Each structure stands twice: as C-alpha cells, then as structure tokens.
Amino acid sequence: MPKLLKLLILYYSQTGNTGKMAKAIAEGAKTVAGVNVEVKYFAKPEDLAEAEAIILGMPTYHHDIGMDMKRLLEELAVKEINLKGKVGAAFGSYGWSGEAPHMLLEVMQNKFEMEVIEPALLIKYAPDEKGLEECRKLGKTVAERIVKASLNS
C-alpha cells in the first residue's frame, strides 16, 4: 500500500472565522484519495518538515501576522528546516486590511522556497457558504497538487 501524503493545515483563530476556514479546507482536501489531512492549532517546526504540503491560516491583526506564527517561522529558519519544493498555500479572515495571508505566502515562497499556490485566500469576517466553498476548493487543489507531484517523481 502506498504511503499517504501528508497535508498539514496549521492555523490561528481568535474569533473562530479562520478556524471555520481551516475546517472547510480540510473537507476539500479529504476528497482526494491518498492524502492524510492534519488540522492543527499548534505545531513544532519538525511537523512542517514531515508534510508534503503546508497550508497556513492567519487572520490579520494590526496589519500583521500574529506572534505565534512569527515565532514558528523564525524557529523554522533557526533550525534550518528544509521546506524547499513543498507545496504551500495561505488563508485567513480579515476585518479591513487582510495582509497576513499575503505575507505568509511571501515568506513561504521567498524564504523557504516553497511552491506556493497564489493568491492567498482571504475572506472578510465570517465565511459564508460561498466562502466555505472557496476554502474547500483550495484544500482540494493543494491535495491534488501533491498527489500529481508524487506520481511524477
């Protein structure tokens, strides 16, 4: 039996909106055979190293990424965790500005040399059914991308 490919969805959510997005992304990813989807609120840098794809969820607070996510990204760099070539995506809810998911994609692409799926998925305030469907599509897209990559390797 072939090894399941790991897709890690790591998110932070204060109001629950980004959490709802994370769950919908996982639903979409789980429709693709051969992928093990893990949704986490906290992860160690080594958890990211074990995944074929990483989707980071972060709402925007004060035009920035939250401290927990910043610490994790710094730890990844300090420990020299290699994420090069892994598939990456970012998402988040926002009230008025929405920069955090874009910043995450930029770090994933430029610092860690990941293959990112653009653009970042942004939903204003709470996701409605249309927004949740966009989340499911993102999860499915990322899962399909790692399955296809594994077949071509």
Q: How many domains does the chain have?
A: 1
pLDDT, tens digit (0-9, with 9 covering 90-100), for 98-150: 899 999 999 999 999 999 999 999 999 999 999 999 999 999 999 999 999 99
Residue by residue, DSSP assigns the chain as -PPPEEEEEEE--SSSHHHHHHHHHHHHHTTSTTEEEEEES---HHHHHT-SEEEEE---BTTB--HHHHHHHHHHHHTT---TT-EEEEEEEESS---HHHHHHHHHHHTS--EE-SSPEEEESS--HHHHHHHHHHHHHHHHHHHHHHHH-
pLDDT, tens digit (0-9, with 9 covering 90-100), for 17-71: 999 999 999 999 999 999 999 999 999 999 999 999 999 999 988 888 989 999 9
Q: Using the predicted structure, report yes or no on whether residue 4 has a pLDDT greater than 90.
A: yes
Q: What pTM value is reported for the model?
A: 0.96
Which residue segment(s) compose the domain that 79 sits in?
Answer: 5-152
Q: Using the predicted structure, report yes or no on whether residue 90 has a pLDDT greater than 70.
A: yes
Give the pLDDT band of residue 3 (cuts 50, 70, 90).
confident
In this structure, what CATH number is given to the domain that contains residue 83?
3.40.50.360
